Structure 1
Amino acid sequence: DDLVIERDGATVVIDSTSLEFLNGSEIDFSDELIGAAFKINNPNATSGCGCGTSFSI
């Protein structure tokens, strides 16, 4: 089953497989001049790319 989170007018859907990798993560939305995007702060990540799009566990 997917987890559906609704907060501040946004809806985020996380599938059950990804949920274990995102446990304890914070999701934020950034709206800047270069674009808008969700930012994920994952305390379980051991490394990440410079742009913040992907990470390793």
Structure 2
Amino acid sequence: MALTLTDAAATHIRNFLAKRGKGLGIRLFVKTAGCSGMAYKLEFVDVEIEDDLMFESHGVKLYTDVKSLAYIDGTELDFAKEGLNEGFKFNNPNVKNECGCGESFHV
């Protein structure tokens, strides 16, 4: 499978990269955290890491590592505005359980 972005997420990331004036794309990975076990992390990628996997969606490069891909394979990253709140949404088909606050998950 792969990692993908919605058009809204890709547009938001492209705008951020343009404002930064540099960057190859973003890295999506997981860390052990939260009450359900794992949490999503995003960071800008300025230099490719040799072992990174790269997926391209809507013209944006999305990087991850092999270990994280085991938990997020098939995930679609979306960006949504709801009232005064805005942020990324992770549509991960592997999630079996999420914490009440939505900050962490378990597969």
Counterpart of 1:45? 95
Equivalence map 1:28-39=2 (5 Å):
28-39=78-89
Higher relative contact order (CA 8 A, sep 6+): 2
More helix by share: 2
**TM-score (norm: length of structure 2):** 0.41
Letter aligned with residue 35 of structure 1: N
More strand by share: 1
- RMSD of Structure 2 on Structure 1 (CA): 2.2
Counterpart of 1:56? 106
| Distance of aligned partners of 1:35 and 1:15 in 2 relative to their CA distance in 1, 3 Å threshold | farther
Partner SS state of residue 21, structure 1: helix
Q: Is the 8 A contact 1:48 1:55 kept in 2?
A: yes
Structure 1 regions of 5+ residues with no counterpart? none
Q: Percent identity?
A: 44
Structure 2 regions of 5+ residues with no counterpart? 1-50
Aligned length: 57
